[in-house]
Amino acid sequence: MIKVGIVGGAGYTGGELLRLLINHPEANIRFVHSKSNAGNTIGSVHADLDGETSMVFSGELNDDIEVLFLCVGHGEARKFLQNNPVSNRVRVIDLSQDFRLNDTKTFSGTGRAAGSSDVGTTERNFVYGLPELNKDAIRTTFNIANPGCFATALQLGLLPLAKAGLLKDVYSTGIT
C-alpha cells in the first residue's frame, strides 16, 4: 500500500481526491491536512463522504508518507514547499497551477515545467503530468505538476491530430 498525505483536503480538489482514494486498494491515507478544519471529520466538510470514513482533518503533517498531494489554492503550493521541506524521497503531486508550464516556449520536450527549481533551498524539478503526453517522464520523477482541466481537454483532443501531422495553427477559448 502507498502511504499518502493530502494538504488542502477541505477544498474541492482535495474532496475529489479523497473520494477517489478512500476506498482505493493501494492507498493508505496517513493524513488529510487542513488548518481551518483541523479536528473536524472529513464528512462534516465533504457531505458526499459522510459515512465513508471516520478520518478527521489534521493541522499537523506526518513524515511517514510516500506520496504528497498538494490540493491548495494557486500560489499556495509553492509557499507550502518553501515553508515545509519535504524529503526528496516523497513523490509530490501538485494539483494547483504553481508548477505548470509558464508558456509554450519553455517546454522543450524535456517534460520539465518552467521555473520549477526555485522552491526554497531545495531544488525540485516538476514534470508536466499529462500521461498521454509524458508517461515516461512521470514514471521516473518525484515531482509532478498536474495539468489543468482546460489544458487536459484541449491536449487530449488535439494530440492524435498533432501526431498525425494534421494541425497547423490552433486557436481556443475557454470560459469558466
> Which residues are within 8 A (CB) of 46 and not within 5 positions of it... i.e. 6 or more apart?
10, 15, 18, 19
> Which residues are within 8 A (CB) of 140 and not within 5 positions of it... i.e. 6 or more apart?
none
> For this structure, is 149 an active site residue?
yes
Nearest CA to 139 out of 129, 149, 150, 148 is that of 129
**How, if at all, do strands 27-33 and 127-128 pair?**
unpaired
Dihedral pair phi/psi, residue 140, rounded to 5° = -105, -5
Q: Which of 23, 121, 149, 171 is catalytic?
A: 149
The residues that are catalytic are 149
